[in-house]
Amino acid sequence: MDAVEVRDLTRIYLTGKRRRSKEEVLALDSVGLGVETGEVHGLLGPNGAGKTTLVKILSTALLPTAGSASVMGHDVVDETEEVRKRIGIVFGGERGLYHRLTPRRILRYWAALYKLPDEIGITRSDELIERVGLSQWADRRVETFSRGMKQRLHLARGLIADPPVLFLDEPTTGMDPVSAHDFRDLVADLKAEGRTVLLTTHDMAEAEAVCDRITLIDQGTILGTKTPKTVAEWMGTLERVEAEDVPAELITRIRAVDGVTHIEADEGSVVVQTNHPQAVKDALKLLVDGGVTSLKTVRPSLEEVYLHVFGRDRGMSV
Amino acid sequence: MVGWRRQWDLVLNTPGYWTSILMNPLFAVVFLAIMSNAGRDDLLAFAVLAPPFMTMWAMSLLISGEAVVRDREFGVLEATLAAPTPYGSVTLGRIGLVTTISMIGFVESWLVALIFFDPIPIVHPLAFAAGVVASAFAMTGTALGMSALFVRSTQVRRFQNAMSYPFYVLGGVIVPIEFLPEWIQPLSKVIFLSWSTDLLRDSLAVGPVEGFWFRLAMVVFLGAAALAVGWWAVGKMEDRVRRTGEVAFT
Ligand SMILES: Nc1ncnc2c1ncn2[C@@H]1O[C@H](COP(=O)(O)OP(=O)(O)OP(=O)(O)O)[C@@H](O)[C@H]1O
Ligand SMILES: [Mg+2]
C-alpha cells in the first residue's frame, strides 16, 4: 500500500463575488499520484501549478471536486479523523502563527490540538525547538522573527504529533541558504525515521537534493514522475552562460560551439543558451581565454525546463 | 473543550479582553451611586448585578467574534481545521475560558459595594453560586451560537456593538423587565439573561427563591439550546471553508 494514493483528483474553484457570475478555475485536472511509504516525494511545479491545492486536499482542509485520495489507506473525505491523526502539515509563508506568542507557547498549543497529554506536549515542544535550531528564541514573541525563523517554527509545528506522513508545502521559502541546507539534513533525518514526506517546491535544486522521486506538475496536470538524476541532468543540460564586455569576434566563435543553441547579445553583454553540459564548458573556456572577466553560469528556471522538456510554453517567466 | 491552559496564552495576549474587567468597578460605582442617591434601595441588587452581567456578555461576545476572525487573519484557520480536534471544541474552549474569567466581575461589584457603599448581603449563597455557574454556562453556549453568526460577517465589530445594549435591556440587566412594553416581554423570556438576572436578584433578597429549580433549569436549557445551534453552525462553517476554499493559507 502506498502511503498516499491519489486517483483522478479534480478540484475546481469558483471565483468572483456574485453567485451567478462565478468563474471556474481548474486547479487540479484528474491528477493521479502514488507516494510510497518511507519515501521523500517531491511535487515540483511553478506558481499556480496546483501544489498547495493538492496538499490541502490531502490534509483534509479542502474537499476535492471529483476523484479520491487516501493517506495510509484512509480516505481524505470520508475518514478525516483517521487521516488527521496521521499527518503533519507545514504550509509555507509568513502566516499561520499567532504573532504575540512565543515558539514554546505556540507548539504547546498545537500539541493540545493534536490531543497530546500535557507532559508529552511540553517535552516534545522543547525537543522540536532544539531540533529546528530555535532554542535561543524559544521565549521570544514570533512577531520579531525573520521569515526563515518562522518557517522553522512551521516545521516544528508540523512535527508536533510525531506523524508518520508529512506534507511540506514550500517549506524553505524565505530561508537563507544556510537554513535551507540545514533543512535538507532535517528531511534526511525524517526519512531515516521512516516517515513519508510529500514536499512541494518550485526549486529544482531543492527537489533534486532531497527527494527520492519527483513528480512534475503544471497547470493542474501531472507531467510525469522522474528521478532526481533526470532532473539534475536537465539542470546541467539547460545551463546558460552570461557574460559582460564580450568582443564581437568572440561572440561569433561561441556561436559556432557545438551544443550552443542560442545567443542573445546586447552591446557586449551576452546570454549563451546550451543543450549540453560540454557546451557550457567550451563556451566558458573561450570566454576566459578571450580575457572576459565578468561571467557566470545560470541554472535554467523551471519554466525553461518545462518549455524544453515538455514543450509547454507558459508565455511568462516567474 | 480543548486546551484550556493553552488557550490562556492566546487570551492573555489580547488586550481587548481585559477592558471590561477594568470597567466593571467603574460601572458598579456609577450604578450604585445612582440608586443610592435616588433612594431606591429596592434596586440596589440591579446596580450591583448589572455590571458583572455586562462584563460577562461583552467579554464572551468579543471572544466569540474574535476567535474565528483572528484564526482567519493569522492564517491559522485551515491548519486548525485539519487538526484532530473539532473546531467547535477549540472555539468552545476559548469562549469558555474567557467567560470563566469574566466571572471576576461579580466579585468586583460586590467589593465595590462593600468598600464604597453598604455591603450587599447574599441571602441565599448556594442559589447565588448555582445561578452564576449556570449563567456562565449559558453565556458560553450563547457565545458559541453568536460566533456562528459572526463568522459570516465581515463587520464583526459593528455587529458586536449592536448586540450588547439591546440585549442588556431585553435581558433585564439594566432595568426590570416589567418596565418594558408588554409586547416585548415574551421576547425576554427566550434570552437566558432575563432568567439569570431574575434568579440572582432573588437570591440576594430576603425571602424564599420561588421556583428555583425551574428557573435554574431554564437558564441551563436556553444555554444548551444556543450551544447546540452554535456547534452545528461551526460545523457548517467548517464544511463551507472546505468546500469553497475561501480561506487561503498563502
Ligand atoms: N481559494 C481559491 N479560490 C480561487 N482560486 C484559487 C484558490 N486557491 C487557488 N486557486 C487557483 O488555483 C490554481 C492552483 O493554485 P495553487 O495555490 O494550488 O498553486 P501552487 O502550485 O501552490 O502555486 P504557488 O507556487 O504559487 O504556491 C491557481 O490558478 C490559483 O489561482
Ligand atoms: Mg502553493
Q: Say which residue, A178 or A89, is predicted with more confidence.
A: A89
Whole-number Å distance between alpha carbons of B249 and B77:
8
**Helices B192-204 & B44-73 angle (0-180, nearest 10):** 140
The Cα B248–Cα B250 span in angstroms is 6
Phi, psi of A84 (to 5 degrees): -60, -35
- Closest Cα in chain B, distance from residue A255 (Å): 44
Angle between helices A118-131 and A147-158 (to 10 degrees): 140
Neighbours of ion ligand 2 (CB under 5 A): A 51-52
pLDDT at A293: 86
Amino acid letter at A22? K
Q: Taking Cα atoms as reference points, which of B233, B159, B234, B219 lies closest to residue B189? A: B219
Contact (Cβ atoms closer than 8 angstroms) between residue B150 and residue B65: yes
| Distance between Cα A222 and ligand 2 center (Å) | 15
Q: Which of B79, B84, B242 sits opposite A115 (nearest CB)?
A: B84
Query: What is the model's pLDDT at position A317?
Result: 42
The CA-based angle A253-A313-A9, given to 5 degrees, is 145
Per-residue pLDDT for A318 more than 60?
A: no
CB contact under 8 A, A93 and B3: no
**Confidence (pLDDT) at A107:** 93
Mean pLDDT, rounded, for B221-234? 92
Q: Which of A179-183, A292-296, B38-42, B174-178 has the highest mean pLDDT?
A: A292-296
Cell 499561520 sits at which residue?
Answer: A96
How many angstroms separate the CA atoms of A214 and A205, rounded? 11
Q: Most distant CA pair in chain B: distance in Å?
A: 62
Taking CA atoms, what residue in B is nearest to A92?
Answer: B250
Checking if the pLDDT of A79 tops 50, the result is: yes
Q: Quote the pLDDT of residue B153.
A: 63
Model's pTM, two decimal places?
A: 0.85
Dump pLDDT digits (tens) for B102-114. Answer: 999 999 999 998 8
pLDDT above 90 for A212 = yes
Percent of chain B predicted with pLDDT > 70: 90
User: Please, which residues bridge with residue A40 across strands?
Assistant: A197
- Considering CB atoms only, which of A52, A59, A111 is closest to B82? A59
Does the CB of B236 have a partner CB in chain A at under 8 Å?
no
Query: Which one of A6, A10, A13 would you pick to mutate in the ligand 1 pocket, going by the greatest count of ligand atoms within 8 A of its CB?
Result: A13
Contacts of B249 in chain A (CB under 8 A): 52, 56, 91, 93, 95-96, 169
CA distance A8 to chain B (A): 18
pLDDT in tens, A154-174: 999 999 999 999 999 998 887
From the list A101, A114, A118, the residue facing B13 with the nearest CB is A101
Distance CA A261, CA A245 (A): 21
Contact list in B for residue A89 (CB cut-off 8 A) is 79, 82
Residues of A in contact with B68 (CB under 8 A): none
Residue B44 CA to residue B21 CA, distance in Å, equals 20
Nearest CB among B5, B14, B80 relative to A113 is that of B80
Q: Are strands A87-91 and A213-218 parallel, antiparallel or unpaired?
A: unpaired
The amino acid at residue B113 is A
Distance A221 CA to ligand 2 centre (A): 15
Q: How far apart are CA B123 and CA A202, in angstroms?
A: 71
Q: Kindly report the average pLDDT of chain A as a whole number.
A: 88
Is the minimum distance from the CB of A45 to ligand 1 under 6 angstroms? Answer: yes
Q: Which amino acid would we find at residue B142?
A: T
- Summary mean pLDDT of chain B: 85
Rounded average pLDDT over B161-187: 84
Mean pLDDT within B28-47: 86
The lowest-confidence range among A278-282, B17-21, B120-124, B193-197 is B17-21
Question: pLDDT band at residue A250, thresholds of 50, 70 and 90?
Answer: confident
* Chain B residues lying within 8 Å of A157, measured CB to CB: 79
Residue A261 has pLDDT above 70, yes or no: yes
Query: Environment class of residue B224 by beta-carbon count within 10 Å: exposed (0-12), middle (13-18) or buried (19+)?
Result: middle
Which residue, among A290, A140, B184, has the nearest Cα to A282 in the 3D structure? A290
Residue A259 predicted with pLDDT over 80: yes
Evaluate whether B198 touches B173 at the Cβ level (below 8 Å).
no
Domains of chain A and CATH, by start:
4-234 (3.40.50.300), 240-298 (3.30.70)
* Residue appearing with cell numbers 440587566: B173
Judged by its nearest atom, the ligand closest to the C-alpha of residue A91 is 2
Q: Which of B241, B243, B250 sits opposite A91 (nearest CB)?
A: B250
pLDDT at B250 over 60: no
Of B48, B15, B80, B50, the closest CA to residue B238 belongs to B80
- Please indicate whether, in this complex, the C-beta atoms of B82 and A99 are within 8 angstroms of each other: no
pLDDT score of A316: 46
ipTM: 0.82
Side by side, which strands form the sheet with A269-274? A260-266, A269-274, A240-243, A295-298
pLDDT of residue A220 exceeding 60: yes
**pLDDT at residue number A60:** 94
For residue A54, pLDDT over 90 is answered with yes
The Å distance, Cα B226 to ligand 2 centre, comes to 38
Distance from CA of B135 to the nearest CA of A (A): 27
DSSP readout, B34-60? HHHHTT-GGGHHHHHHHHHHHHHHHHH
Query: For residues A109 and A277, which has the higher predicted lDDT (pLDDT)?
Result: A109
Look at residue B52 and tell me whether its pLDDT is greater than 80: yes
Q: What residues of B are in contact with residue A113 (Cβ under 8 Å)? A: 2-3, 80, 83-85, 90
* pLDDT above 70 for B248: no
Q: At B181, list the grid cell.
A: 412594553
Nearest CA-CA partner of A166 in B10, B82, B133, B223: B82
Of the candidate ranges A58-72, A235-249, B188-202, the one whose mean pLDDT is the lowest:
A235-249
Which of the two residues, B139 and A146, has the higher pLDDT score?
B139
Q: Is B245 in the pocket of ligand 1 (CB under 6 A)?
A: yes
Ligand nearest to the CA of A23: 1
Task: Judge contact between A96 and B79, C-beta under 8 A.
Answer: yes
Higher pLDDT, B216 or B249: B216
What is the chain A residue with the closest CA to B77?
A: A96
State the pLDDT at residue A314: 56
pLDDT band for position B237 (cuts 50, 70, 90) = confident
Look at residue B107 in the predicted model and tell me its pLDDT: 93
Is A95 close to B249, i.e. CB distance below 8 A? Answer: yes
DSSP of chain A: --SEEEEEEEEEEEESSSSTTPEEEEEEEEEEEEE-TT-EEEEE--TTSSHHHHHHHHTTSS--SEEEEEETTEETTT-HHHHHHHEEEEE-SS-SS-TTS-HHHHHHHHHHHTT--HHHHHHHHHHHHHHTT-GGGTTS-GGG--HHHHHHHHHHHHTTT--SEEEEESTTTT--HHHHHHHHHHHHHHHHTT-EEEEEES-HHHHHHH-SEEEEEETTEEEEEE-HHHHHHHHHHT-EEEESS--HHHHHHHHTSTTEEEEEEETTEEEEEESSHHHHHHHHHHHHHTT--SEEEEPPPHHHHHHHHH----S---
Q: Is the C-beta atom of A51 inside 6 A of ligand 1?
A: yes
A173 phi and psi angles, rounded to 5 deg: -55, 130
**Strands A213-218 and A40-44: what pairing?**
parallel
Mean pLDDT of B182-200: 89
Q: Can you say how many angstroms the Cα of residue A278 is from the centroid of all Cα atoms in its chain?
A: 29
pLDDT for residue B179: 84
A155 HSE (CA, 13 A, CB side): 29
Residues of A with CB under 8 A from a CB of B: 13-14, 52-53, 56, 59-63, 81, 84-85, 87, 89, 91-93, 95-101, 105, 108-115, 118, 157, 161, 169
Check CB contact under 8 Å for A169 and B2. Answer: no
pLDDT value, residue B210 = 84
Q: Which helix (H) or strand (E) holds B198?
A: helix B192-204
Q: Do residues A182 and A24 lie in contact, with contact meaning Cβ atoms separated by under 8 Å? A: no
* pLDDT higher than 80, residue B94: yes
pLDDT, greater one: B30 or B175: B30
